[in-house]
């Protein structure tokens, strides 16, 4: 009987009148109650009965028209393009939660990896920064203290790569100077950077501030030549020079940090084959004036290198 | 048997309703009217349980908001029932707040007294039950039970959806609906599982 009612109620969605009910239905009901089965009407039957009683099927046409008019007005006003708020989203919850959680997990993972990478990179950067001055100190002391060829004649000896003990040291000093030169181009005229020890040394080596440009051009040219020639030893030294460049900028605190990066780049890039890369950097750093001045000073007589320097 | 006939009915209509809502969201006026006709009877019955005689006005206001915000809605037919019920409920509660009237319709007591007497068989009582009687019965329930019963029976929402409309936990709403229905069954002389003799309405209230 319960099924009966739940089927009949929904179909009509109206109150079930005694007259309207099928005879069999009524008889069954009577039998149910008379036969002492008061629970013949189950919960579903009760719900169907309540629904049938409470819901009036007739829809007020005027109210419907008002609603449709409001719909039309909203459509024309463009209100239907409004954004969905959380309370407007009635899609099945399980699906939404599932996709959401997957998305969340992925983004959390990615974010974690990214941040972790940044953190690791930061550790490396901090380490090199603290390393810099120490190495610089060592080198700064070492290069003047080293007797003979390294400080004495970086220019004169540069064509003699044959001597084994001089090999590692001399080009390193040359690189040092080279890095200083590159940095010098950037810092010139700015602040007190030029007062720093490294600059003073550079100026002394060049024989006066006015000659720094020419000196540097020569140095860079020479560095390029060495690189072309250079084997693994030269590569290693180039790396050293790069680090030295990094460190020297640490000494020249004011405004030199940008240069430090540049010089470091030069050193790193020259480590292996990509001498061309280094050339490019030199060109951009020491370029204009330096290259022009070095026109007369290309004492090695190697036409290829100046050519490579000038883009 | 877990779900009432009304919710089964609602589910049968949900496909049609969902399609109508989707078309209405694309601007189809006739589809909106169709959705209105599918939803309005249950919605009005629910609001009537909340605010009584003002239900027509309150539901009408709710429909203005529904028509305006239709573009925001996301979901299927069943979701649309829940969404509209939420809007109508907020309107009804606003209305009650303005009126400072308790949600229970005041005309209830009279109706309860007119319910069929103990001598009537339960099916007579049921078949003869008018809207007013049914409303009176539901209105006689505690507020949370009445709402849970109405949302389930009249609007056709399942447990989680009704819980979302009411802003409560599904378990609490399910319990409330169960208790409410049990109480109504008792009042109607329908003993679902107990062995005790059917009580009269006067005794049970």
B-contacting residues of A 260-289, CB under 8 Å? none
In a domain, A37, yes or no: yes
Residue of B nearest to A85 (CA): B72
Determine the average pLDDT of the residues in A8-28: 37
Q: How far, in Å, CA of A168 to CA of B193, rounded? A: 100
Tell whether A168 and A289 lie within a shared domain: yes
The two tokens of residue A6 are 């739940």
Give me the residues of A, 29-58, that contact B with CB < 8 A.
29-30, 32-34, 38-39, 41-51, 53-57
Of A39, A64, A83, the CB nearest to B37: A64
In the block, tokens 């509209």 appear at: B84
| Shortest distance, CA A127 to any CA of chain B (angstroms) | 53
| Closest partner CB to A90 (pick from B60, B79, B124) | B79
Structure tokens at A149: 């060829």
B88 touches chain A (CB under 8 A): no
Looking at residue B114, the DSSP 8-state letter turns out to be T
Is A62 part of a structural domain of the chain?
A: no
Query: A288 and A180 in one domain?
Result: yes
Question: Which neighbouring-strand residues pair with A89?
Answer: B74
Q: Residue B134 — pLDDT band, cuts 50, 70, 90?
A: confident
Total domains in the fold of chain B = 1
Nearest CA in chain A to B136: A54
A25 inside domain: yes
Range of the domain at A6: 2-54
Predicted model pTM: 0.47
Residue of A nearest to B57 (CA): A63
The complex scores an ipTM of: 0.76
**CA angle, residues A158, A162, A164, in degrees to nearest 5:** 105
Instruction: Dump pLDDT digits (tens) for A125-161.
Output: 655 544 444 444 444 444 444 444 444 444 444 444 4
A196 touches A262 (CB < 8 A):
no
Distance CA A242, CA A268 (A): 6
pLDDT confidence of residue A188: 63
Residues of chain A found within 8 Å of residue B5, distances taken between Cβ atoms = 5-7, 9-10, 44-45, 47-48, 51
Determine, yes or no, domain membership for A204.
Answer: yes
Number of separate domains in chain A: 2
- Same domain for A154 and A300, yes or no, is yes
Instruction: Indicate yes or no: CB of A79 within 8 angstroms of CB of B71.
Output: yes
Give how far B95 is from chain A: nearest CA, Å.
Answer: 18
User: Greater confidence, B191 or A263?
Assistant: B191
Owning domain of residue B149: 5-204
B95 φ, ψ to 5°?
Answer: -60, -45
pLDDT tens-digit map of A171-230: 566 667 777 777 776 666 565 665 677 777 777 777 777 777 777 777 777 766 766 665
């Amino acid at each position: 009987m319960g099924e009966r009612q739940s089927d009949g109620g929904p179909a009509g969605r109206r109150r079930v009148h005694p007259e309207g009910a099928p005879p069999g239905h009524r008889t069954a009901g009577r039998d149910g109650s008379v036969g002492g089965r008061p629970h013949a009407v189950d919960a579903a039957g009760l719900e169907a009965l309540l629904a049938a009683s409470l819901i009036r099927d007739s829809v007020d046409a005027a109210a419907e028209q008002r609603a449709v008019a409001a719909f039309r007005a909203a459509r024309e006003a463009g209100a239907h393009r409004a954004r969905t708020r959380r309370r407007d989203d009635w899609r099945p919850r399980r699906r939404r939660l599932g996709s959401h959680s997957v998305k969340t997990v992925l983004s959390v993972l990615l974010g974690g990896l990214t941040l972790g990478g940044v953190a690791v990179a930061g550790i490396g950067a901090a380490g090199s920064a603290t390393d810099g001055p120490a190495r610089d100190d060592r080198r700064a002391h070492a290069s003047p203290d080293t007797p003979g060829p390294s400080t004495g004649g970086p220019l004169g000896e540069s064509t003699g790569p044959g001597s084994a003990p001089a090999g590692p040291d001399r080009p390193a000093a040359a690189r040092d100077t080279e890095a200083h030169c590159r940095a010098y181009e950037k810092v010139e005229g700015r602040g007190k950077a030029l007062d720093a020890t490294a600059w003073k040394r550079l100026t002394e080596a060049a024989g006066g501030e006015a000659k720094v440009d020419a000196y540097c051009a020569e140095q860079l040219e020479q560095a390029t030549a060495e690189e072309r020639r250079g084997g693994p030893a030269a590569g290693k030294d180039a790396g050293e020079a790069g680090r030295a460049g990094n460190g020297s900028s640490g000494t020249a605190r004011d405004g030199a940090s940008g240069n430090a990066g540049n010089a470091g780049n030069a050193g790193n890039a020259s480590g292996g084959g990509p001498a061309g890369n280094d050339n490019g950097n030199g060109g951009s750093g020491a370029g204009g004036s330096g290259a022009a001045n070095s026109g007369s000073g290309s004492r090695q007589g190697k036409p290829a290198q100046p050519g490579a320097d000038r883009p | 048997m877990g779900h009432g006939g009304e919710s089964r009915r609602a589910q049968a209509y949900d496909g049609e309703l969902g399609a109508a809502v989707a078309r209405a969201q694309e601007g189809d006026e006739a589809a909106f009217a169709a959705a209105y006709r599918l939803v309005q009877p249950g919605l009005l019955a629910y609001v009537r349980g909340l605010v009584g005689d003002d239900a027509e006005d309150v539901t009408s206001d709710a429909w203005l908001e529904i028509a305006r915000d239709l573009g925001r809605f996301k979901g299927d037919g069943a979701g649309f029932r829940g969404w509209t019920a939420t809007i109508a409920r907020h309107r009804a509660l606003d209305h009650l707040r303005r009126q400072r009237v308790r949600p229970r319709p005041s005309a209830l007591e009279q109706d309860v007294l007119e319910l069929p007497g103990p001598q009537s068989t339960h099916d007579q009582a049921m078949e003869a039950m008018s809207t007013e009687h049914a409303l009176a019965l539901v209105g006689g329930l505690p507020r949370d039970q009445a709402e849970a019963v109405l949302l389930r029976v009249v609007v056709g929402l399942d447990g989680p959806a009704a819980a979302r409309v009411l802003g409560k936990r599904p378990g609490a709403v399910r319990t409330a609906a169960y208790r409410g229905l049990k109480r109504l069954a008792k009042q109607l002389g329908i003993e679902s599982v107990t062995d005790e003799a059917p009580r009269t309405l006067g005794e049970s209230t």
